[in-house]
Structure 1
Amino acid sequence: MALRPPSQRVPGKQTGVDVLGHELAEEMAISLGRAGRRAEQALVRLREHQGTAEERVVLLKAAAESVHAYFIQRELCGMRRHDEVIRHYGIPREVLVRLGAK
């Protein structure tokens, strides 16, 4: 049995499909925000690091992983270009190289 949305819409009344679409969009926005905060925090830790080279490598890896996760989440939301985000967050080249950028 297939579920088919109603053929006529009543103004001001949402269908189940409308409600589901709204909830999915809300969850995507929440996930994108969360991934962005994680990336930003990892980049701040990397930028402010003053310890050993070994500790920096660990922070660099964490920053690359969190930025990668953020980029994936952006792409899932339909945002394919990351140039503006790279500039906004000041993502260092050494992080981008770990993601495969040239």
Structure 2
Amino acid sequence: MKKENKIGCGGAFILLLLFSVLITYWYVFVAIGLIGFAVWYYYHRKQTEDKAAADAQAKKDQAQAEAADRIREFKQLLDEGAITQEEFDQQKAKILGEQDDLKF
């Protein structure tokens, strides 16, 4: 049995034409590929940086909210008379001082 070639004469001509264009202008295709990769890399890197910045901001906001809650708890203890004003000021300074630490 003989296999039938489905490309045909016209298909072979088109393939030869495409290969000749590819061989002649290979540098154009390489440049297009490199530009496409550069655009993809920039876009991917920008997304990663934006996500990292959003995560850092969320952590900072959460830390500030926790600090405010802790200060409120000490204020309530001060109002109830369980601690003195001096103790409250010390704890408040300690809590606010913890936020100034740079964490990488």
Q: TM-score range by the shorter chain?
A: 0.3 to 0.5
Q: Which has the higher contact order (CA 8 A, sep 6+)?
A: 1
Q: Looking at CA atoms only, which structure, 1 or 2, has the larger radius of gyration?
A: 2
More helix by share: 2
